[in-house]
Structure 1
Amino acid sequence: MQRRLRPVELDFAESAPLRLVFSADLAAPPAAVYRSLAVELGSTPAWFTAVTAATPTDGGAGRTIRLRGGIEFRETILASDPAARYAYRIDRTNAPGLTALLEEWLLSPAADGTRVRWTMAVDGNGPCRLALRLARPGVGKSFRDAMRNLDRRLTPARHPSPGTGR
């Protein structure tokens, strides 16, 4: 059963009691990365394997995300700037212990592509925050794998398939 979370705004990305922050460099240009994050939502499970389904809601103002293990998020998009930022808060979820959650994706041009910084800003009860702190290495690996998959999807010439001899 889904519960309503506390509505937070963009400043929560910096003020949350728990912040998990991860970065990666991609060869793909910022516009292509943004398009995959914010526009081509249905393709998310193809590169972010923790996600099983991603659908826009409310005429594109929100999203519904389903994760492996049965967790579901109903989200509201708070920032959508193709040149720099994509952020959303979770309004409803069936994840236990959460009281507030915001995710922010910052995109910046890098010498050979895009620097991606993903922040999960979280508030929850003590056991929830402890579980997320303990899960930090796994969440980080999931992010790095997703960014590697996304980069391969967006820049296939730079990532030849094994056995192609290129």
Structure 2
Amino acid sequence: MRSRVNFFKKQKRSFLLMEVLVSMTLFAVLFGILGFWQRHMFCSTKRDEQAYKTFLQENYAYKQLRTIFRTTSQIEEIPGALCSVVFDRGVYRDPDLAGEVGGSLYYHKEQGRLELQIRSLRNHGKVETSLLLDNVSQVDIVPRRNTSDSELPERVLMVIHRHCPKSTERVLTYQFALGK
């Protein structure tokens, strides 16, 4: 009877080589899939961040241009500038650059940059330059005159072509009412 009891007791058995290989293969497949999805999500996040930065920059440029053209009181002719205006900036941290100031849009074709230069009308040495958009390939500004013979056009149409890296060309079309 004793020999039968020993026979039914479970014997300790060691792992076979095949079982170890199967388990290692399953772990490799699992970690490979996890690594693939992690990389996919990382690349997707980077792409989304770049698109978000592009939209933020375009939004900032639109707000700046809208503010400038809305408070424009006169248009100036400055060599090398796409458009030069005198506008009311309102309250600003630098008193020389507050109130009535001159603003000029400059397009640097070699660098692909559209910049806004604001200069003081009281202190001609005070100038502030800020980047509106980068990766700009072309800028067109067309004044839309009204029927009356006023010196200030009624509207300004601005068409900006941007070619951002790893994306298609974007065409931004803005129309601003001057002095309104």
Fold similarity call, TM over 0.5: no
TM-score w.r.t. the length of structure 1 is: 0.28
TM-score w.r.t. the length of structure 2 is: 0.26
Point out which structure has higher relative CO (alpha carbons under 8 A, 6+ apart): 1
More strand by share: 1
